Structure 1
Amino acid sequence: DVFANLNSVSLSYNYDNVLWGFLAPLRGTRGQIMFTKVFNLTGQDYSFSSIDVDVRHYFFLDKQYVLAFRGIGGKIMGEKKEYFRYYIGGFNTLRGHPFIEYGGTNVFLFNAEFRFTFIESIRMGWPLFLKIGNIGGVLFVDAGSAWDNTYTFMNKETGEFQDFKMDMGFGFRLTLYPIVILKLDYAWPYYYSGFGSKEIVFSLGYEF
């Protein structure tokens, strides 16, 4: 298997002055620029290079309100780059679009969220002894593209976005202590002519 013999070397620069809450950032900036070289020990030419940028910024508006922004960009280079692609779509990327629907050797992604809290915490006694905290919500906008050689922002014949994808929506967050956040998002893809059908996304994990 050619791909089982791939090895990589990465060089990155990281910056992080973020102030964290219990499970999510509150204020500050964090970013990473990473260059990766992948090579094949079998001698077959399946090597490629990639450069990736990830920048995030958080505005702490109040104890219960945070504005969060994330920008991601990436490019894969090399003669065999078509074998190694970025994918976006679905949870944590473009929530109003199907899971990993779009792929390419180039990618950019932008997410903006307004996060707020409904209830700070609920503590249950016997027999559950469960603490539920930070019952909150989020308003969001996602935008991005994944493409190969030529980027086409809009299709001139149809008058619709082509490579550019966008959605917006709202969601609910439930923190189950000590380590997990339950997320439920309702997102609508936005086309130049209007909105498409709703996507419902359920996931577990942390906020970006």
Structure 2
Amino acid sequence: MSWCTTTRRQGAFLSSWNFAVTRVERSGRANYAIGGYRLSGRFYDRVDSFFERDQVGGFVSVSYPFSTFSRLEAGTNLRRERREYDNKGVRVNGIVVSNSVSYIKDNSIWGYTGPIDGERFNITVGHTIDMQHNDVNFGTFIVDYRRYFRVSQRSTYAVRVMGKFNLGKEAFRYFMGGSWDLRLYPRYRIWGRKLFLVNNELRFPFLDRFLLGFPFGGLGFNAIRGALFVDMGQAWDRDYEFNEVLGSLGIGWRLRLGGFLVLRYEIGKRFQLRNLDSPNVHFDSGIKKAFWFGFDF
């Protein structure tokens, strides 16, 4: 159970409480989860500017394993939702239900900073509708496939192919950019209801151990890993004419601290593949750098 408040005014204290309660049952082969929540606050969308959102609802989900490596997941989320935008007024005010089904497989083998062998994929189909006023009615389709090829005992070629699509009325947008997807671009600066991404990466050992000596003692780091990468992707809306692919290429380093934190540093060039009927490549001026955190995809 968790709770918090997002109020900025004393009079709105009670109306701005947020909480979520979840119960998970894992005693049988199928795992179940049921819960309820109240989420309220002021948010910002890069396209639609500021808006107030209030949601009260509940959800149920089930996960059924076919084997150690694959499973089927399904869930339903029923909520009372209201969204009011500063520049467009009330856009959603009704009973909204979201249903989704996913098939997931993961037999990957992990190294210090991420997977080094095997494959992972997720195929999801969903639908969201406002049952009261039909203000919301859109479908969701997601494919995320990742494959890891051992080049040698300690090196891996990794590839990820991902597509995300929300089609229909009041479909929400996906955001992309940053070290977790399209590298060397500003975080979350690329958006749209349709998105595709292709990552290519050669992972290799850079330093097995790095030691720093001081008069009062020493400091050591284990498992600094390197990566050569080429990324390509784009996101767009129904109003956007798709005629350009964004890309980046470069080299990166990963340092794992403890058992849960991986620091990432990347340097390289951004480019655009323009005029897809007669493609040409344009490279941005200058070298781009990025520092962030997170395991390899």
TM-score (norm 1): 0.82
8 Å contact 2:181–2:199 — kept in the other structure? yes
Matched residue count: 197
Whole-Å separation in 1 of the counterparts to 2:264 and 2:126: 32
Long gaps (5+) in structure 2 = 1-51, 56-80, 82-95, 273-280
Q: 1:204 maps to which residue? A: 293
User: Equivalent of 1:180, from 261, 265, 275?
Assistant: 261
User: Equivalent of 1:12, from 99, 102, 108?
Assistant: 102
- Are 1:144 and 2:233 an aligned pair? yes
Q: 2:200 maps to which residue? A: 112
Distance 1:142 1:123, change over 3 A: same
Give the CA deviation at 1:56: 0.2
RMSD of aligned Cα (Å): 2.6
Long gaps (5+) in structure 1 = 154-161
Once the two structures are superposed, the pairs formed by residues 47-62 of structure 1 within 5 Å of their partners are 47-62=137-152
Whole-Å separation in 2 of the counterparts to 1:3 and 1:198: 43
Once the two structures are superposed, the pairs formed by residues 46-195 of structure 1 within 5 Å of their partners are 46-81=136-171, 84-121=172-209, 132-149=221-238, 150-153=240-243, 162=244, 164-191=245-272, 192-195=281-284
Whole-Å separation in 2 of the counterparts to 1:37 and 1:15: 22
Q: Which moved more, 1:91-100 or 1:191-200?
A: 191-200
Give the CA deviation at 1:15: 1.7
8 Å contact 2:251–2:268 — kept in the other structure? yes
8 Å contact 1:132–1:177 — kept in the other structure? no
Whole-Å separation in 1 of the counterparts to 2:54 and 2:127: 14
Whole-Å separation in 1 of the counterparts to 2:258 and 2:219: 8
Higher relative contact order (CA 8 A, sep 6+): 1
Distance 1:203 1:48, change over 3 A: same
